């Protein structure tokens, strides 16, 4: 999640999120997260860390890990999970993706896991991520995207999205996140055939 909220809806979402995602996590997401994060090192920032589904997958080569989660209910679960997995190793911060507030060039890598589908301003979030990355740093991501290479699925996504985004905390099913990442100045990323995007995009080594 990546919006500051303190409401009954926010509380309910945080209470049900892990249960709702359990089957998907066991089926594929756990494996994808592990593959995504296994070679990270140095100083790493995760945006919209939610309840902490990624925290068990970070390798020991990560020397500093900052987990940002602006939703207070999600953040409480995140803090508990981080403390249980690696006491004292992870920093938890109340910062949205579009206003991270860290000095420019602070991180070797940034992680986005099912977040860019729901941020209020995707372009602003990507610009802020690029700002806090070191030149040559990586954005690694696992995201919902429009299934442009699967017309029947794309049609279904467009049909349900108006209701879905209200039920699922602004999650958009048809964002073209890979194109947005490239437009933000990162090197192109990879897209999976089922309409989900995952991969690594690199910050240029020379600032523009």
Tell me the pLDDT tens digit for each residue of 71-97: 999 899 999 999 999 888 899 999 999
Q: On the CB side of 159, how many CA atoms lie within 13 Å of its CA?
A: 6
Alpha helix (H) residue ranges in the chain: 8-24, 30-37, 72-85, 122-132, 151-167, 177-183
For the chain, list the domains and their CATH numbers: 8-202 (3.40.50.150)
Confidence check: pLDDT of 1 > 60:
no
Between 153 and 193, residue with greater pLDDT = 153
DSSP state of 152: H
CB burial of 82-119 (b: ≥16 within 10 Å; e: otherwise) equals beeeeeeebebbebbbbebebeeebbbbbbbbbbbbbb
Q: Is 85 helix (H, G, I), strand (E, B) or coil?
A: helix
Between 168 and 59, residue with greater pLDDT = 59
Query: Could you tell me if 202 and 187 are in contact, meaning their C-beta atoms sit under 8 angstroms apart?
Result: yes
pTM of the model: 0.81
Per-residue pLDDT reduced to its tens digit, 98-142: 999 999 999 999 999 989 988 999 999 999 999 999 998 999 998
Per-residue pLDDT reduced to its tens digit, 153-168: 889 888 987 887 777 7
Encoded tokens for 151: 């017309």
């Amino acid at each position: 999640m990546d919006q500051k909220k303190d409401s009954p809806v926010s509380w309910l979402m945080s209470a049900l999120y892990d249960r709702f995602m359990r089957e998907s996590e066991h089926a594929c997401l756990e494996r994808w997260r592990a593959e995504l994060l296994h070679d990270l090192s140095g100083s790493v920032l995760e945006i919209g860390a939610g309840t902490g589904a990624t925290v068990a997958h970070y390798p020991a080569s990560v020397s500093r890990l900052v987990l940002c989660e602006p939703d207070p209910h999600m953040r409480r679960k995140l803090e508990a999970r981080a403390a249980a997995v690696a006491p004292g190793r992870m920093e938890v911060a109340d910062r949205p993706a579009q206003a991270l507030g860290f000095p420019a060039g602070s991180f070797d890598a940034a992680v986005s896991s099912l977040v860019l589908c729901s941020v209020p301003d995707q372009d602003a979030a990507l610009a802020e991520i690029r700002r806090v990355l070191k030149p040559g740093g990586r954005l690694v991501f696992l995201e919902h995207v429009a299934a442009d290479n699967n017309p029947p699925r794309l049609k279904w996504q467009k049909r349900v999205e108006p209701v879905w985004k209200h039920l699922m905390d602004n999650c958009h099913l048809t964002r073209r996140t890979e194109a947005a990442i490239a437009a933000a100045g990162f090197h192109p990323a990879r897209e999976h055939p089922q309409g989900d995007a995952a991969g690594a995009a690199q910050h240029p080594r020379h600032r523009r």
